[in-house]
Structures are given as C-alpha cells and as structure tokens.
Amino acid sequence: MKRIAYLFLLCWPVLVVQAQTNDEAFRLRSAHIYADPLALLEYRGQVSGIRFDLPLPEGTIEEGIIVRTQSTDRLLNYTVQEIVTESKRPVRTKLEFLRENVGYSVSVEVFEGRESVAYSGEIQAIDENSELLFLKTSTSLESIPIANIQHFNGGRGLNLSVKHSSSTRQLSVFFVGDVSKEVLTVLLPNNKISAEANYLLDFDKPKTELSLDIRLNSAVALNNVSIYYYGLPFKQQEAGNYSAQAAFQLSGVVIPAKQQMSYQVMANSVELSLSDVAEVGAWEPGNTALSQSARGVRTLAIQNSTPMNWFRAPIFERKSRSLGRVPGEMPTTTKGSEAKLEYGRSPYVINDNARLVKVTKKAETISGLKYDSYLFEGKIDIRNTGGEAGRVKIIKQAVPENKRNYWFANVFTDLKGKNKQEITKLEYEVKVEANDATFYRYKYELLVPSEN
C-alpha cells in the first residue's frame, strides 16, 4: 500500500518539518476497542511549529477528544473545524450535459424505431429516474427517452464543468510559542471500529481446548497498529488514564479502510467440569399443597489458565465432529479464576413431597422470643432421564427467602444430636444410574415466631 504524506501550507508560519524515524513521527499508534462498541484511537509522536493540524477520521466523536503534550505548559488550545473543498471537472456524459443545460435550448436527434427524428426546444426537466428528457418545442412538450438520443447540439457548449463539494473535519492544536520535537498525544473516540468475538470449545482434542477468534471491522485504515480489547463499556474518566485492563492485545495489525480482518487470539487447553444442581423450595406453615417439581440446571465450569482475561462473548462447541452453540455467553473472567455458564438441559427431574406431621405451640424460647415448632417429613425423588449415570447436587431450601425471622432446627438422621441452629438450606449430592430413579427422605423442624 502506498503511503502519501500531505504538507499543509497555512496562513500561519510554515511548520518546520525535519526527518523523523517511524518511532518518532506522529502517527496512529493504538486502537483501544471497548464493548459499547466504541474505540479510542491513540495518535502519538513528535511535532514542531506553533500549530498542528490532524484530519479527523470517519466516525470520530468530537466531544470526547483528549489532547496531551509532554510539557505541561506547551498546550495553548485545540479546536475542531470543518474544511470545505470544491472541485470541478468537465462534463463527460450525455446525461451530465443535459442536466447542466436545463433551461437552455438544444437540438437533439432521436431514433424512433428505424427512423431518425429531430427536435429543437428548451429543456424543461429530467425525470427522477434519469430516463426521460422533457423538451418544450414551439408546438408541444415532448418526453424523449434519453437512451434513444444519438446526437445533440446547442446549449451552453461542452466547456461546462460539474461542481463537487466535500467537507472534512480537522483538529487544530495550538501551542504556546514555537515548539520543537514536542511529543503530542491525541485520543479520538470513534464509533466506526468494532470487534466481534467467538469462543470455541473443542472436545475432539486430546485435551479440551478453548480458542478465541476475533473479527475486526474498521472504517479507518490501520497500519502497523496495536489493538487493545477491553470487553467493558467505555468510560471517559478511564480513557485518559488507561486504568482499564485490556482483555488481550494484538500487535502490528494492518487493516485497509472499510474492511474486515479475522485473527485467532489464543488456543489453550482448559480444565473444565460439568455439574448438575437442582434447587428445591422451602415449605411454610399454611401451605396445603405440599408437592412440587423442579429440574436440575447443568453448568459448565472452565478454569481460566490463559495469559489473558476472558470477556463476554458467544461460545460454540465442537463435539463428535459437529458444531453447536452453548446456550449462554462466556462470562467476564480474570486470569486464574473460573468461568461458569449454563450448559444444555439437565436430565434430572426432581419431585418433592412433604407433610406437616406435628405442630407445637410455644415450644421454644430463643433470645427471649417464643417460637412455635413445625415438624415436616418428606421424600425427594430424583429421576435421571439421560442415557448416562451421573451425580446431581440437591439444594433443599429450609427457610423461605422472604422470612428472615424463621429458624431451622435440623433433625436429619445424619445430624442428630446437633443443637438447633439458623440454617437456610441443606445440600446433598446423589448418584443416579442412567434411566433410573432414587430418593431420600428428610425430616426437619421449623421454628416460627409465635403469635401469642
């Protein structure tokens, strides 16, 4: 790709331009991409003179521009202004000539079938589809197909030109006095650069592998630029300090303007485990329908042992040479921690049936308060609808979430002899064979504040 350098001659004193290495020259160094989607373009390098102009790339948001200098007393002011340029070129097509001669008299020769017919008159208009020319002759208003016009003369001649105007935005930075090799940093928020990422869990590898593929879309040309992806929403107060920690970094990225490039950021073996958990609700005094059903939730836990942070993104899986999508997104996870997400439908169906076997009024006094005792007995049936044996963790809620003043007196068989205590839930892990069912019985005492 050719590089073109523009030298701006301004009414201000001419900029002093000296030979610079690529490391010293002012250029686009980095693109910090956030999850909004929003990006922060970082320009940095040495400049000289009392004014520096930077054409703003497409998608720049003016309100969030940050300008910094190496010397705190060098920066005077900066502003964004619109530069309008006009250009003219000679008319080159039949349609351009006719458009430029609306209101003028011309003569046209039109082929109608096998005959040639000549018309002379004033051009009134051209239809919106550029197919018909409306010509007012001395006797009538003719509608002539432009495609059938073979010759024309008259009008304003062929020395006409078509005018084109274009506008660009420019950042102008003003310094205090004449600077020499001053290091200037400019941060430009931009909404025309984004990243789309997908994770892939490959179960067909000898050890399950997690890879990250990322697609970069940019309306701005990136040439030997470092890409930082944060996976978090953009915050203006963090932009100037770079306090956010990037999820990953790419170096030496080259993307032509308005094109898409794909990269594989990582491919690492991961430690993972599948688990099924079923939560069973609590019983309350006064509940006459002491029967309820629930289904387990299957969870995938992945240990993040990679050198980068994970961020929210869709996740796919390759298993037995087929590709499917995990029903969830990769959670935001820092290095060394564990990511959990819902993974498919759990095969475990839970049925909880209970009865209220005894009610004792004013049975207990705890911290000066009287409690009534309610004794529940029940049985939890666990059915495995899958084709493989496995284990499911059962979480039995003992105290309703909205009743914080209830107490739970534990009288499970394996916890006999323990003192009454405030417990909100109990956990059991049960193994169930394929297409089989099992159960366990429970008994517990619930202490409810007495009304008397």
The pLDDT value given to residue 158: 54
> Distance of CA 175 to CAs 82, 183, 188, Å?
20, 12, 19
Domain boundaries in the chain?
Answer: 27-85+168-265, 105-159, 273-449
In this prediction the pTM is 0.64
Selection from 171, 75, 154 nearest residue 109 by Cα: 154
Q: Return the ∠ at Cα 228 (arms to 214 and 248), rounded to 5°.
A: 65
Nearest to 54 by CA among 86, 33, 22, 80: 80
- Which pLDDT band, with edges at 50, 70 and 90, does 332 fall under? confident
Q: How far apart are CA 427 and CA 276, in angstroms?
A: 13
Chain mean position to CA 272: 26
How many Å apart are CA 398 and CA 404, to the nearest integer? Answer: 11
Calculate the alpha carbon distances from 425 to 192, 400, 401, 421, 429 in Å. 50, 9, 10, 12, 14
Please say whether the beta carbons of 99 and 126 come within 8 A. yes
Kindly report, residue by residue over 174-213, the tens digit of the pLDDT: 999 999 999 999 999 999 998 888 999 999 999 999 999 9
| Range picked from 1-15, 96-110, 266-280, 421-435 for highest mean pLDDT | 266-280
Options 3.30.420, 2.30.30, 1.10.8, 2.60.120; CATH of 105-159? 2.30.30
- Kindly report, residue by residue over 64-87, the tens digit of the pLDDT: 899 999 888 899 999 999 888 777
Q: What is the pLDDT of residue 275?
A: 93
Instruction: Render the burial of 374-407: b for 16+ CB within 10 Å, e for the rest.
Output: bbbebebebbbebeeebebbbebbbbeeeeeebb
Task: Say if CB 443 and CB 377 are below 8 A apart.
Answer: yes
Residue-wise pLDDT for 81-125, tens only, equals 988 877 777 767 788 788 878 888 988 899 887 788 899 999 999
9-18, 32-41, 179-188: least confident range: 9-18
Distance between CA 318 and CA 35 in Å, rounded? 26
